[in-house]
A and B are shown apart, each in its own frame.
Chain A
Amino acid sequence: MNQSNQLELHHAIKIDADKCRACTHCLQVCPTEAIRIRNGKATIIPGRCVDCGECHRACPYQAFYVEQDDLSRIFDYKYRVALFPAVFVSQFPENISEEQIYSVLKQIGFTHTCEVEQPISVLIDSIKDFAQNEYDSESPIISSFCPATVRLIQVKYPALTEHLVLRNAPHDLAAWYVRQRLAEEGIDPSDAGIFYITPCAAKIAAVKSPVGEKKSIVDGIINMSEIYNQVMAKATGVTGNFHSCDCRNEISREGILWSLPEGEKAAFDGKSLSVDGMHNVIRILERLEDGDLQDIDFLELRACEEGCAGGIMMTSNRFLTADRQHKRAEKFPEAKSSAGMEELAEKLRIASVQPRPMVHLDTDMEKAFAKMEKARSIMCHLPGIDCGACGAPSCLALAEDMVRHEARMTDCIYIQQLWQKEGKISAEKAFRNLEKRWGENRFDVDCSKRGAKNDNGFGLMNEGEDADLY
């Protein structure tokens, strides 16, 4: 089975081949071993990627980027709604007021502004309803808030998909809520575009290729870092009438804190755990698979440390953001009752999340057996140092790629060296193999690489470049 031919899924994380230097940092951090170096560039195996963004964080060359819709697309609509999560507001330093932030959003061209995690009581009550009246398997139920963890469970912990809460994420809740509000204002739905300002790539994947989630009613996605820069540039210049958030009356303490660690946990009685950070999430899911967490009722999972405050498109430091968010939350009232919003609650239901196991060696179990035995014998020969010089994240991953016919023994530089010594391969051939894997220019003298004489890493310039701006 060719991994790269597996089911095409929408991924928001992309690689800029011009910037990628195949330094292998991304290889090691990917929780699903979805990255390989091919022809001197990092590539992503689509079926394995969960859009968590760990590669984006690890890349020293900013070669990973997150696709977004062009901001000018908002002008395709007569009414333009900016839907943003509470972490967006909390990123800004204290000297920039909420009103200034809202005003800049309107200055950019949005006609309406609304915070995502509102009206949160609808979601809280709906999740409670799910736990009490729908869920009938073993505890715990697992939050479906973080799309990266939902996808991780599908791919790596498929047996746990049945624990997922079958309710939509808050951005769709807010989008439906806004639609209702706009209708009340007499606005034709086809005239309104809802744009979600996202802190991460996984939320984009959730919008563009939903799993279990219903087709999103969000019309476009804008990266938070881009809007952050616009607000920073314009906020202090904003004068005159400040606009306030259109959904301001709905903003509640629980809603503001929802995307931070313990934000969901706080809403539920019983024993619940809040786990943030990809590696911690993996550890807890392993234990859950062992049947070891049956006394836990609710499991809140966040791929990013400090929850959405640590999203990959967040500009400010996650701990400062979270701190400001907690302080802001204190200024808002508790969430109002969800009574009368049953129609909205109905929109939150999603279909069951299907397992999508991607780690098997072959779809035919007998063949998988044979391949595993072969991979185990190959492992006897590989050096076991997981250096990444073959383009796979570990020796074992290379061995498994080999039995899938996606890699060869000579991809291992140690094996090549040994085979040269034993006269099994010529030095010329070995060198060509390396060039194939790492690109023809790999062995050219390059003084612009990190730490070299003319390091042109982010912000640094080449020696030869004109440093005179004027």
Chain B
Amino acid sequence: MKLNFQVEGGNFAKAGVASSEVKKVLKKLGVPPMIIRRIVVALYEAEVNIVAHAQQGIISVDLHHDKVEIELRDKGPGIGDISQAMQEGFSTASEEVRAMGFGAGMGLPNIKKNADELNIESKVGEGTTVHITNYFAKP
């Protein structure tokens, strides 16, 4: 089962719409609550990242019987040094974004903490693609 969402860069009022929808579906499927929580926290962070940094993005959520695969593809500035971006506290967010309570540099580390598998590909000046996979039962 596939769910696709468009994400508008810079529109913080809509940040979280995709994670909310995915959350509802996972609850109806009876995925264990603590596993849903990890998925949603990771997805929400990644969704907010698109809103905060990119011009636009697409989130594709692929639900399987045993796992969820999420792809977040954006058109944006890209990440120059991914390993640096993975460090806690590192942030390139603008002052305006920080003033809204985002951009504390916890985004990517938090995604990593909550994702079972994480893969980030990025090209500076073009955009970033994030793959998150989480399993519904502990392997």
- Chain A residues proximal to chain B, CB less than 8 Å: 158-159, 286-287, 289-292, 355, 357, 359-366, 368-369, 372-373, 376, 400
Contacts and interface: CB of A to CB of B under 8 A. Distances in A.
B16 interface: yes
Nearest to A362: B30
Nearest to B44: A290
A interface secondary structure, majority: helix
Given A361-B29, A366-B65, 8 more contacts: A158-B33, A287-B16, A360-B30, A363-B30, A365-B30, A365-B31, A369-B1, A369-B63
Nearest to A361: B28
5 contacts: A355-B33, A360-B27, A365-B30, A369-B1, A372-B25
A368 B40 contact: no
Contacts of A368: 28-30
B73 interface: no
A142 to B, nearest CB: 14
B40 A359 contact: no
A360 B31 CA distance: 8
Contacts of A287: 16
Given A159-B33, A357-B30, A361-B29, A291 B20 contact: no
B70 to A, nearest CB: 14
Ordered nearest first, which 4 A-B pairs have the shortest CB separation?
A360-B30, A291-B41, A159-B33, A158-B33
A35 B27 CA distance: 19
Contacts of A158: 33
Nearest to B110: A291
A400 B25 CA distance: 12
A271 to B, nearest CB: 12
B30 A291 contact: no
A372 B23 contact: no
A46 to B, nearest CB: 19
A364 B23 CA distance: 18
Contacts of B114: 291
B19 interface: yes
Contacts of B23: 286, 289-290
Contacts of B136: 365
A219 B124 CA distance: 69
A365 B27 contact: no
Interface in B123-139: 136
A289 B44 CA distance: 10
Interface in B5-47: 16, 19-20, 23, 25, 27-31, 33-34, 36-37, 40-41, 44-45
A369 B65 contact: yes
Given A290-B44, A291-B44, A366-B65, A372 B37 contact: no
Nearest to A367: B30
A364 to B, nearest CB: 8
Contact of A359 (B19, B27, B45, B65): B27
B interface secondary structure, majority: helix
Contacts of A373: 1
Nearest to A290: B44
Given A365-B65, A366-B65, A372-B1, A292 B29 contact: no
Contacts of B40: 289-291
Nearest to A373: B1
Given A159-B34, A286-B20, A373-B1, A292 B28 contact: no
A372 B114 CA distance: 25
Interface in B57-76: 63, 65
Contact of A292 (B27, B34, B44): B44
Contacts of B27: 357, 359-360
Nearest to B35: A159
Nearest to B19: A290
A359 B31 CA distance: 11
Contacts of A366: 65
Interface in B75-102: none
Nearest to B102: A292
A368 B27 CA distance: 10
A372 B16 contact: no
A399 to B, nearest CB: 11
A141 to B, nearest CB: 16
Nearest to B37: A159
A86 B93 CA distance: 48
Contacts of A364: 30
A400 B28 contact: yes
Contacts of B41: 290-291
Contacts of B16: 287, 290, 292
Nearest to A366: B65
A110 B65 CA distance: 60
A360 B65 contact: no
A357 B20 contact: no
A286 B114 CA distance: 17
A172 B63 CA distance: 46
B66 to A, nearest CB: 8
B29 A365 contact: yes
Of the listed residues B16, B19, B27, B31, the one surrounded by the most CB atoms of chain A closer than 10 A to its CB is B27
A106 B101 CA distance: 55
B20 to A, nearest CB: 6
Contacts of A286: 20, 23
Contacts of B65: 365-366, 369
A369 B29 contact: yes
B47 to A, nearest CB: 9
B29 A357 contact: no
A359 B65 CA distance: 18
A291 B15 CA distance: 13
